[in-house]
Amino acid sequence: MIKIKNLTKSFGDKKITRGLDLTINDNDFIAIIGRSGEGKSVLLKQMIGLIKPDSGQIIIDGQDVSKLDKKDLQEVYKKCGYVFQFAALLDSLDVFENVGITLLEENVPPKEVRPEVIKRLNSVGLSEDVLYKFPDELSGGMKKRVGLARTLMRSPKILIYDEPTTGLDPITVRLIHELIKKTHESLNATTIVISHDIEVFKYATKVAMLHEGKIIYTGPTENIWECDNPYIYQFIRGLDKGPITSKK
Protein backbone atom coordinates (compact mmCIF):
# COMPACT_ATOMS: atom_id res chain seq x y z
CA MET A 1 0.00 0.00 0.00
CA ILE A 2 2.92 2.36 0.70
CA LYS A 3 5.93 1.93 -1.51
CA ILE A 4 8.90 4.23 -1.19
CA LYS A 5 11.54 3.95 -3.88
CA ASN A 6 14.99 5.49 -4.02
CA LEU A 7 13.96 8.57 -2.07
CA THR A 8 16.48 11.39 -1.63
CA LYS A 9 16.34 14.70 0.20
CA SER A 10 19.09 17.17 1.07
CA PHE A 11 18.95 20.47 2.91
CA GLY A 12 21.69 22.57 1.33
CA ASP A 13 24.67 20.28 1.07
CA LYS A 14 23.47 18.13 3.96
CA LYS A 15 22.18 14.80 2.65
CA ILE A 16 19.40 13.48 4.88
CA THR A 17 17.47 10.85 2.89
CA ARG A 18 19.91 8.98 0.65
CA GLY A 19 18.19 6.51 -1.66
CA LEU A 20 15.68 5.09 0.77
CA ASP A 21 13.45 2.10 -0.08
CA LEU A 22 10.63 0.87 2.12
CA THR A 23 7.43 -1.09 1.54
CA ILE A 24 4.63 -1.02 4.09
CA ASN A 25 1.69 -3.35 3.57
CA ASP A 26 -1.96 -2.74 4.42
CA ASN A 27 -2.62 -3.23 8.13
CA ASP A 28 1.04 -3.37 9.05
CA PHE A 29 1.94 -1.95 12.44
CA ILE A 30 5.51 -0.92 11.82
CA ALA A 31 8.02 0.83 14.04
CA ILE A 32 10.69 2.92 12.34
CA ILE A 33 13.71 3.34 14.55
CA GLY A 34 16.95 5.22 14.22
CA ARG A 35 19.14 7.64 16.07
CA SER A 36 18.27 11.25 16.67
CA GLY A 37 18.89 13.41 13.63
CA GLU A 38 18.89 10.46 11.18
CA GLY A 39 15.93 11.94 9.32
CA LYS A 40 12.95 10.04 10.68
CA SER A 41 10.69 13.08 10.95
CA VAL A 42 11.92 14.26 7.55
CA LEU A 43 10.91 10.87 6.10
CA LEU A 44 7.40 11.08 7.57
CA LYS A 45 6.96 14.65 6.39
CA GLN A 46 7.86 13.57 2.86
CA MET A 47 5.27 10.79 3.08
CA ILE A 48 2.51 13.27 3.80
CA GLY A 49 3.75 15.89 1.37
CA LEU A 50 4.90 18.47 3.95
CA ILE A 51 8.44 18.22 2.56
CA LYS A 52 9.08 17.63 -1.15
CA PRO A 53 11.73 14.99 -1.87
CA ASP A 54 14.55 15.80 -4.31
CA SER A 55 14.01 12.53 -6.17
CA GLY A 56 12.40 9.13 -5.83
CA GLN A 57 8.83 7.97 -5.38
CA ILE A 58 6.35 7.63 -2.53
CA ILE A 59 3.44 5.61 -3.77
CA ILE A 60 0.39 5.54 -1.54
CA ASP A 61 -2.60 3.63 -2.91
CA GLY A 62 -1.09 3.70 -6.38
CA GLN A 63 -0.46 7.45 -6.41
CA ASP A 64 2.95 9.09 -6.26
CA VAL A 65 2.50 11.58 -3.42
CA SER A 66 5.74 13.39 -4.22
CA LYS A 67 4.34 14.48 -7.59
CA LEU A 68 0.90 15.65 -6.47
CA ASP A 69 -0.19 19.27 -6.42
CA LYS A 70 -1.75 20.87 -3.36
CA LYS A 71 -5.32 19.97 -4.25
CA ASP A 72 -4.64 16.27 -4.82
CA LEU A 73 -2.53 16.18 -1.68
CA GLN A 74 -5.63 17.14 0.30
CA GLU A 75 -7.13 13.81 -0.74
CA VAL A 76 -4.06 12.00 0.55
CA TYR A 77 -4.30 13.92 3.83
CA LYS A 78 -7.79 12.53 4.25
CA LYS A 79 -6.35 9.01 4.18
CA CYS A 80 -3.28 9.73 6.30
CA GLY A 81 -3.46 10.85 9.88
CA TYR A 82 -0.23 12.33 11.18
CA VAL A 83 0.32 12.66 14.91
CA PHE A 84 3.15 15.15 15.27
CA GLN A 85 6.19 14.90 17.48
CA PHE A 86 5.36 17.19 20.49
CA ALA A 87 1.59 16.92 19.74
CA ALA A 88 1.63 20.30 17.91
CA LEU A 89 -1.49 21.67 19.56
CA LEU A 90 -2.29 25.32 19.00
CA ASP A 91 -1.66 27.05 22.32
CA SER A 92 -4.22 29.77 21.80
CA LEU A 93 -7.05 27.28 21.20
CA ASP A 94 -8.75 25.09 23.78
CA VAL A 95 -9.09 21.31 23.45
CA PHE A 96 -12.48 21.57 21.76
CA GLU A 97 -11.12 23.93 19.10
CA ASN A 98 -7.87 21.99 18.66
CA VAL A 99 -9.64 18.68 18.07
CA GLY A 100 -12.55 20.10 16.09
CA ILE A 101 -10.46 22.56 14.08
CA THR A 102 -11.06 21.11 10.61
CA LEU A 103 -14.84 20.98 11.00
CA LEU A 104 -14.96 24.41 12.68
CA GLU A 105 -12.94 25.87 9.81
CA GLU A 106 -15.49 24.37 7.41
CA ASN A 107 -18.13 26.35 9.36
CA VAL A 108 -19.85 23.29 10.79
CA PRO A 109 -21.87 24.67 13.74
CA PRO A 110 -20.05 24.13 17.08
CA LYS A 111 -23.03 22.28 18.54
CA GLU A 112 -22.64 19.64 15.82
CA VAL A 113 -18.86 19.49 16.23
CA ARG A 114 -19.05 19.07 20.02
CA PRO A 115 -20.40 15.47 20.11
CA GLU A 116 -17.86 14.42 17.46
CA VAL A 117 -15.03 15.90 19.54
CA ILE A 118 -16.31 14.24 22.73
CA LYS A 119 -16.54 10.89 20.93
CA ARG A 120 -12.86 11.13 19.86
CA LEU A 121 -11.74 12.34 23.29
CA ASN A 122 -13.48 9.37 24.90
CA SER A 123 -11.85 6.99 22.46
CA VAL A 124 -8.41 8.22 23.60
CA GLY A 125 -9.35 7.90 27.25
CA LEU A 126 -10.20 11.53 28.01
CA SER A 127 -13.49 12.82 29.39
CA GLU A 128 -15.30 15.95 28.33
CA ASP A 129 -13.90 17.69 31.44
CA VAL A 130 -10.88 18.66 29.34
CA LEU A 131 -12.96 20.23 26.56
CA TYR A 132 -12.32 23.85 27.50
CA LYS A 133 -8.80 23.48 28.84
CA PHE A 134 -5.87 25.05 27.03
CA PRO A 135 -2.76 23.04 26.06
CA ASP A 136 -0.61 24.53 28.84
CA GLU A 137 -3.12 23.20 31.38
CA LEU A 138 -2.59 19.61 30.17
CA SER A 139 0.08 17.07 31.11
CA GLY A 140 2.39 15.69 28.40
CA GLY A 141 0.41 12.46 28.17
CA MET A 142 -2.88 14.33 27.86
CA LYS A 143 -1.46 16.50 25.08
CA LYS A 144 -0.45 13.39 23.12
CA ARG A 145 -3.96 12.02 23.56
CA VAL A 146 -5.53 15.27 22.39
CA GLY A 147 -3.19 15.25 19.37
CA LEU A 148 -4.37 11.74 18.55
CA ALA A 149 -8.05 12.68 19.07
CA ARG A 150 -7.61 15.48 16.52
CA THR A 151 -6.12 13.03 14.00
CA LEU A 152 -8.95 10.54 14.60
CA MET A 153 -11.56 13.11 13.57
CA ARG A 154 -10.87 12.02 10.00
CA SER A 155 -10.91 8.22 10.63
CA PRO A 156 -7.69 7.81 8.64
CA LYS A 157 -6.68 4.56 6.99
CA ILE A 158 -3.00 5.25 7.58
CA LEU A 159 -1.88 6.49 10.97
CA ILE A 160 1.57 7.95 11.36
CA TYR A 161 2.92 8.78 14.80
CA ASP A 162 6.12 10.72 15.34
CA GLU A 163 7.67 9.91 18.73
CA PRO A 164 4.36 9.40 20.52
CA THR A 165 5.91 8.54 23.89
CA THR A 166 8.89 10.86 24.22
CA GLY A 167 9.03 12.57 27.60
CA LEU A 168 6.38 10.42 29.29
CA ASP A 169 6.68 8.25 32.40
CA PRO A 170 6.84 4.43 31.91
CA ILE A 171 3.20 3.88 32.87
CA THR A 172 1.92 6.57 30.51
CA VAL A 173 4.22 5.14 27.81
CA ARG A 174 2.47 1.80 28.17
CA LEU A 175 -0.98 3.41 28.13
CA ILE A 176 -0.16 5.40 24.99
CA HIS A 177 1.18 2.26 23.27
CA GLU A 178 -1.97 0.37 24.22
CA LEU A 179 -4.02 3.22 22.85
CA ILE A 180 -2.08 3.16 19.58
CA LYS A 181 -2.66 -0.60 19.33
CA LYS A 182 -6.37 -0.28 20.12
CA THR A 183 -6.70 2.48 17.53
CA HIS A 184 -4.80 0.37 14.99
CA GLU A 185 -7.23 -2.49 15.50
CA SER A 186 -10.44 -0.50 15.68
CA LEU A 187 -9.73 1.54 12.53
CA ASN A 188 -8.25 -1.42 10.72
CA ALA A 189 -5.52 1.04 9.82
CA THR A 190 -1.93 0.84 8.68
CA THR A 191 0.11 2.16 11.58
CA ILE A 192 3.59 3.66 11.39
CA VAL A 193 5.30 4.65 14.62
CA ILE A 194 8.60 6.45 14.75
CA SER A 195 10.12 5.89 18.11
CA HIS A 196 13.28 5.82 20.17
CA ASP A 197 11.37 3.83 22.70
CA ILE A 198 12.04 0.12 22.37
CA GLU A 199 8.83 -0.55 24.34
CA VAL A 200 7.12 -0.10 20.97
CA PHE A 201 8.48 -3.54 19.98
CA LYS A 202 5.92 -5.12 22.28
CA TYR A 203 3.17 -3.74 20.06
CA ALA A 204 4.49 -3.29 16.53
CA THR A 205 4.59 -6.34 14.29
CA LYS A 206 7.45 -5.10 12.12
CA VAL A 207 10.46 -2.92 12.59
CA ALA A 208 12.52 -0.90 10.11
CA MET A 209 15.84 0.70 10.94
CA LEU A 210 16.88 4.01 9.40
CA HIS A 211 20.62 4.53 9.21
CA GLU A 212 22.61 6.99 7.13
CA GLY A 213 19.58 7.96 5.11
CA LYS A 214 18.50 4.43 4.18
CA ILE A 215 16.38 1.65 5.60
CA ILE A 216 19.04 -0.91 6.38
CA TYR A 217 16.78 -3.56 7.93
CA THR A 218 13.13 -4.57 7.98
CA GLY A 219 11.80 -7.59 9.80
CA PRO A 220 9.29 -8.93 12.29
CA THR A 221 9.62 -7.46 15.80
CA GLU A 222 9.51 -10.85 17.51
CA ASN A 223 12.97 -11.59 16.09
CA ILE A 224 14.48 -8.30 17.09
CA TRP A 225 16.48 -9.43 20.12
CA GLU A 226 18.12 -12.20 18.09
CA CYS A 227 18.83 -9.86 15.20
CA ASP A 228 22.54 -9.68 14.44
CA ASN A 229 22.41 -6.59 12.27
CA PRO A 230 25.08 -4.57 14.10
CA TYR A 231 23.18 -1.28 14.04
CA ILE A 232 20.00 -2.85 15.39
CA TYR A 233 22.02 -4.80 17.95
CA GLN A 234 23.62 -1.64 19.26
CA PHE A 235 20.55 0.56 19.03
CA ILE A 236 18.17 -1.62 21.02
CA ARG A 237 20.78 -2.18 23.73
CA GLY A 238 21.88 1.45 23.85
CA LEU A 239 25.44 0.50 22.98
CA ASP A 240 27.86 2.61 21.00
CA LYS A 241 29.61 -0.51 19.81
CA GLY A 242 28.71 -4.16 19.60
CA PRO A 243 29.39 -7.40 17.80
CA ILE A 244 29.66 -6.94 14.08
CA THR A 245 28.56 -10.42 13.16
CA SER A 246 26.90 -9.59 9.87
CA LYS A 247 27.94 -7.52 6.91
CA LYS A 248 25.82 -4.53 5.96
Ligand X SMILES: Nc1ncnc2c1ncn2[C@@H]1O[C@H](COP(=O)(O)OP(=O)(O)OP(=O)(O)O)[C@@H](O)[C@H]1O
Q: Which parts of this chain interact with ligand X (CB under 6 A)?
A: 11, 16, 34, 36-42, 85, 163
Check if the beta carbon of residue 49 is closer than 8 Å to that of residue 68: yes
Between CA 115 and CA 98 the distance in angstroms is 14
In sequence order, the 6+-apart residues with CB closer than 8 A to the CB of 85 are: 41, 162, 163, 166, 194
When the beta carbons of 28 and 38 are compared against ligand X, the nearer one is: 38
Between CA 198 and CA 186 the distance in angstroms is 23
Q: Count the neighbouring beta carbons within 10 Å of the beta carbon of residue 129.
A: 9
In sequence order, the 6+-apart residues with CB closer than 8 A to the CB of 120 are: 99, 149, 150, 152, 153
When the beta carbons of 19 and 125 are compared against ligand X, the nearer one is: 19
Using CB distances below 5 to 8 A depending on partner kind, what does residue 197 bind out of Mg ion, ligand X, none?
Answer: none
Residue nearest to Mg ion (CB): 41
* Cβ 45 to ligand X shortest distance, Å: 8
* Cβ 38 to ligand X shortest distance, Å: 4
Environment class of residue 96 by beta-carbon count within 10 Å: exposed (0-12), middle (13-18) or buried (19+)?
A: buried
When the beta carbons of 17 and 190 are compared against ligand X, the nearer one is: 17
DSSP string, 157-211: SEEEEESTTTT--HHHHHHHHHHHHHHHHHHT-EEEEE-S-GGGGGT-SEEEEEE
Using CB distances below 5 to 8 A depending on partner kind, what does residue 4 bind out of ligand X, Mg ion, none?
Answer: none
* Cβ 149 to Mg ion shortest distance, Å: 21
Footprint on this chain of Mg ion (rule: CB under 5 A) = 40-41
When the beta carbons of 63 and 166 are compared against ligand X, the nearer one is: 166
* Cβ 144 to ligand X shortest distance, Å: 15
Using CB distances below 5 to 8 A depending on partner kind, what does residue 37 bind out of Mg ion, ligand X, none?
Answer: ligand X
* Cβ 15 to ligand X shortest distance, Å: 10
When the beta carbons of 130 and 208 are compared against Mg ion, the nearer one is: 208
Using CB distances below 5 to 8 A depending on partner kind, what does residue 132 bind out of Mg ion, ligand X, none?
Answer: none
